[in-house]
Structure 1
């Protein structure tokens, strides 16, 4: 039986035993025996309870040791702070982080281990924790015993109050490597951001809705802005002309929905200053898994290239026109100019062989034919010279106010004899009060050419009418109408074109090159007017043109 000395339990047991001894004086032997049995049972119960208590104590010791090991061996530092910020408890991880023995950590202010420039961060977090009872997470720099500084993340929790004292539990994680990685990432981002901003081409990143989330300085400049921040949140569509929006939207949406890259497409935009620019845009999807989150790409200002292409296209057209003009002139020289000369040479040859064989009547007839041939040659040469002057840009343009009928009357006179010979009447319906603003020499060439053509392609007994009426308050419309052979629809399309040959002989075999109509078109357009034609085979033709009225 175990001995219990100098303990409270021993004293209580002896007192009870003495009481029992006093009572046994009146007990019977049987009662004494029962009492003794009860004491023995009670003794056994006590021994069993003692064994159970010892086992519980052993379990508690093991649990305490396990908790202590877990607390000290945790990869995270744990602290318990007083309301004033004094360290009450700390695990071994804290000792390792700070490079200080545990006994040199306890009862010290936590701020002794926090870098001075970050102490305000700690004080603000502690104040918020006590005020709101909400957990606080913050980052700051701590210093080791050897002076080394490292970044740590604090997570603080308000502990239960004890004796009206507030305690705070804090976990500390070393995030120095994470911070270094973040700093390197920031440096890398800054490096590439600087690189992107220094290139001449624009660079952009958009979200799935097309809004800019990043642009470089070059793109801002291309869009007519001075600051790249002004583009953030905006969209390409804001700069695209209304007529081009649907095309661009479809192309962009197709890239988003079908995960397609655009290697480069040209688009027209309106810059902030209202000027038009042409851009070449590439668009590459930004993917997260199978989902397209946005687009990124390069933007190049190709305005100068587009202008150069237009100039090249115009130059090509001008070259084609120039070649057509050259071919037209060669055709006239090779055929239309040679034919009259051949006739002229034939007539003069007959006279040169033996002029004595010709009567006066024959000579008169030959002289008339030679005169007619010479007039035709002169008109052709005159048109050729005027055409050459127009193409070289050397022709003088001096518009003035004139009474139109005065010019028409003067131009009818030299043509009237040719009309009389074919029995054709010329009717002038121009009012004496109608005034125009035009270059007289150019206008005379137009009227003369149109009237000559009308006579040339009218049958004997035909009629030519020239009239004028206001087209609007600014223009006068002039019509030269004949009752001649007319022009086919196919040939109407070829009129006024240098690259088409429409020239044909008149009703009396008069030569025609079509050069007069080309000159007329040039001269009328030079004065701000237009020329057009309506005709029907066998019925006649009406050439119409407009000229500015005189104010």
Structure 2
């Protein structure tokens, strides 16, 4: 009765109802039973139910042969009756039907008790071991091919000594040992010392656990390199030894990649959690997968409150989050990064907002990383630079305008004026009085034009240099219009222009008197210059719906093209031209008008059609 806990022959000397026998019979881990000499079940322990599913009631009174596999029945009958008749030890193996209709391999061992002529038997379930033996015997060639040609390392080791009994070529290649060296080692020789305890515990489990899968271990190669392997192992009988056959998968790269990923995630968290920039991650339902502590600064909400929630669930209004969701959806659909500058707090601050798609191994966008950085200082610096650039361009244009005025508009009239004075010096003794009067009139006209030009140039330069002082006061508008018209009365008469006015009575406005006179003088002068002889100029005043005072100066002159109208107040474009009777025009007057109107907070508009005249309307807040 090798390897059995009790000799059934000895049970015959003790009555079954004896306490010690009864305790052993019903607490044994194997299947214990008592049969009659004919093979009828008389007693069984509870293990039959836990192993095969049969209760004592199911078995008692039944012949044990009723459950034997048909293929084993003849052999079992022969061995059983021969052993009973010869009074020998009962010892045979067969397949036995369980309650769920599966067959178990049972090893039967027992003895006939000569006192009561009953057979005492202990049966052991050896299905696992028997299946292995059958597999090995039926598929030896297949197992050899599988073992030696496997692309993964494989070996067989002794469960008692941990010695290697066989290794395949891939194990030799990956671990660096020759086959002879491998077979002189034990499993402990390739296991780091700090894992010895875990190895011993695992071997204890392996003795009772037939199959294990994907256990992770560290092993030492011949050159001392530590590698990570996943092992799957099963228990087999090899050369009559209880062994484990192991297949290994080197997962060092995967473990290192996972470690690198973990370290990267750790660094990511360290960086994001210490950053003042707002960092978040969203899924396709716009739920927050991650939020860093900067949420407290921007929203007053702790980061943990964001996790798993949408903006709506967090209390944001749809008006706020709809534009965000639209951009996030675009990135999910396109897989392309999005970046834009967003004004916040009514444009007082600016955020550089980036949405970065994150992909799975199949290239699908599974989440989006949102990175928002405050760039208010940068944007304001850029705006200041752009403003400075515009200002620089304006200064260059002003410089060019000055050069143009000095080179053409100022020099040419002076040349004419000087020519007339030369004529007087050379020919005065021989001139007739009427010739002298004519030349004097021409000198006077030239001097007035030069004076007007110099006056505008001086006023404009003072405005550009910031030296002009704005002194608003209450002014009777009609008085100022009359003053300008009176100074130009002779000019209107010479050109035979029809001047009409349609002025509201008693209009007092708050304006700088000098600037207002310059505005009226230039606009009325322009109407005079560009109206042909016998034409009309009309001046009218009225009150706008916003209670501003409007002054309209309309002429029946030569008018302007749409392009000229658009460029009237641009320094970089040339818009000056001669009047209808060759009057000089530098274009500077309208620029000065625009500057003065801006200082008053007013507006100027122009409507003009070539050949039909122009209408200038100025508004000044009252």
Q: Distance in 1 between matches of 2:318 and 2:593?
A: 39
**8 Å contact from structure 1 (residues 281, 299) kept in 2:** yes
Number of aligned residues:
402
Name the CA shift for 1:461/1:297 in 2 (closer, same or farther; >3 Å): closer
Residues 7-50 of structure 1: CA deviation (Å, up to 9, x unaligned): 889xxxxxxxxxxxxxxxxxxxxxxxxxxxxxxxxxx9995698
Alpha-carbon shift at residue 243 of structure 1 (Å): 10
Deviations 1:232-279 (A, max 9, x none): 435599989969955x65553343234x252x61231536x9854221
The yes-or-no answer on 1:388 pairing with 2:461 is yes
SS of match in other structure, 2:593: helix
Which structure has the highest helix share of the two?
1
Asked if 1:412 corresponds to 2:485, the answer is yes
SS in 2 for 1:214: strand
Query: 1:255 pairs with 308, 322, 331, which one?
Result: 331
Q: Secondary structure at the match of 1:461?
A: coil
Alpha-carbon distance, 1:298 to partner: 3.8
Q: State how 1:316-465 maps to structure 2 within 5 Å.
A: 316-465=389-538
1:341 is displaced (CA, Å) by 0.2
SS of match in other structure, 1:373: helix
Helix, strand or coil for the counterpart of 1:203? Answer: strand
Distance 2:15 2:351 in 1: 102
Instruction: State yes or no: 1:58 paired with 2:135.
Output: no
Aligned to 1:524: 597
Q: How does 1:62-461 map to 2 (within 5 A)?
A: 63=124, 193-218=269-294, 221=297, 223-225=298-300, 227-232=302-307, 233-235=309-311, 249=325, 251-258=327-334, 260-262=335-337, 265-270=339-344, 275-287=348-360, 289-296=362-369, 298-461=371-534
* Separation (CA, whole Å) in 1 of partners of 2:13 and 2:383: 117
The separation in 1 between residues aligned to 2:568 and 2:486, in whole angstroms, is: 27
TM-superposed CA distance for 1:394, in Å, is: 1.6
Q: What secondary structure sits across from 1:58 in the alignment?
A: strand
The question of whether the paired residues in 2 share the 8 Å contact of 1:201 and 1:219 is answered with no
Q: Aligned in 2, Cα 1:433/1:369: closer, same or farther, shift over 3 Å?
A: same
- 1:305, distance to aligned residue in structure 2 (A): 2.0
TM superposition shift of 1:541: 1.7
2:321 and 2:535 map into 1 onto residues whose CA distance is: 56
Tell me, in whole angstroms, the C-alpha distance in 2 between the residues paired with 1:7 and 1:505.
145
Q: 1:235 to 1:287 in 2, by over 3 A?
A: farther
> Are 1:204 and 1:219, in contact at CA under 8 Å, matched by a contact in 2?
no
CA-CA distance at 1:297 after TM superposition? 5.2
TM-score by length of 1: 0.63
Distance 1:425-1:238 versus aligned 2 partners, 3 A rule? farther
TM-fit CA distance, 1:524: 1.2
Structure 1 pair 231–546 and aligned structure 2 pair: CA distance change class (3 A): farther
Residues 554 and 616 of structure 2 are in contact (CA less than 8 Å); yes or no, is this contact kept in structure 1? yes
Check whether the contact 1:240–1:268 (CA below 8 A) recurs between aligned residues: no
Deviation at 1:231, TM superposition (A): 4.3
Q: CA deviation at 1:482?
A: 1.5
Deviation by residue 1:292-336 (Cα, 9 ceiling, x = unmatched): 321225433223222222222222222222211211111111001
- Whether the 8 Å contact between 1:450 and 1:543 is mirrored in structure 2 is yes
Task: For residue 290 of structure 1, report the CA deviation from its aligned partner.
Answer: 4.7
CA distance in 1, matches of 2:264, 2:408: 78
Query: Offset of 1:184 from its aligned partner?
Result: 13
Answer whether contact 2:551 2:619 (CA < 8 A) is retained.
Answer: yes
CA separation in 2, counterparts of 1:476 and 1:230?
58
Matched-pair contact (CA < 8 Å) for 1:239–1:269: no
CA distance in 2, matches of 1:374, 1:244: 69
Superposition deviation, residue 66 in structure 1:
9.3
Change (3 A) 1:500 1:6: closer
Taking structure 1 as reference, are residues 234 and 315 closer, same or farther at Cα in structure 2, changes over 3 Å only? farther
Contact 2:277 2:294 in 1 (8 A): yes
Unaligned runs of 5+ in 2: 1-8, 17-80, 93-106, 111-120, 129-158, 160-196, 202-257
The answer on whether the counterparts of 2:295 and 2:302 sit within 8 Å (CA) in structure 1 is no
Whether contact under 8 Å (1:467, 1:478) holds in the other structure is yes
CA distance in structure 1 between the aligned counterparts of 2:316 and 2:518, rounded to whole angstroms = 50
Q: Return the offset for 1:344.
A: 0.5
Q: For residue 395 of structure 1, report the CA deviation from its aligned partner.
A: 0.8
Return the structure number with greater relative CO, CA threshold 8 A, min gap 6: 1
Instruction: Give the TM-score, by structure 2 length.
Output: 0.57
Aligned to 1:119: none
Report the Cα offset of residue 458 of structure 1. Answer: 1.6
CA contact (8 A) 1:399 1:439 kept: yes
Work out whether residues 283 and 289 of structure 2, in 8 Å CA contact, stay in contact via their aligned partners in 1.
Answer: yes
CA shift at 1:514, angstroms? 1.1
2:268 and 2:608 map into 1 onto residues whose CA distance is: 72
Following superposition, the deviation at residue 367 of structure 1 comes to 1.3
* CA shift digits 1:39-62 (9 cap, x unpaired): xxxxx9995698797768628645
Q: Following the alignment from structure 1 to structure 2, what is the Cα–Cα distance between the partners of residues 265 and 478?
A: 49
Task: Give the corresponding residue for 2:586.
Answer: 513
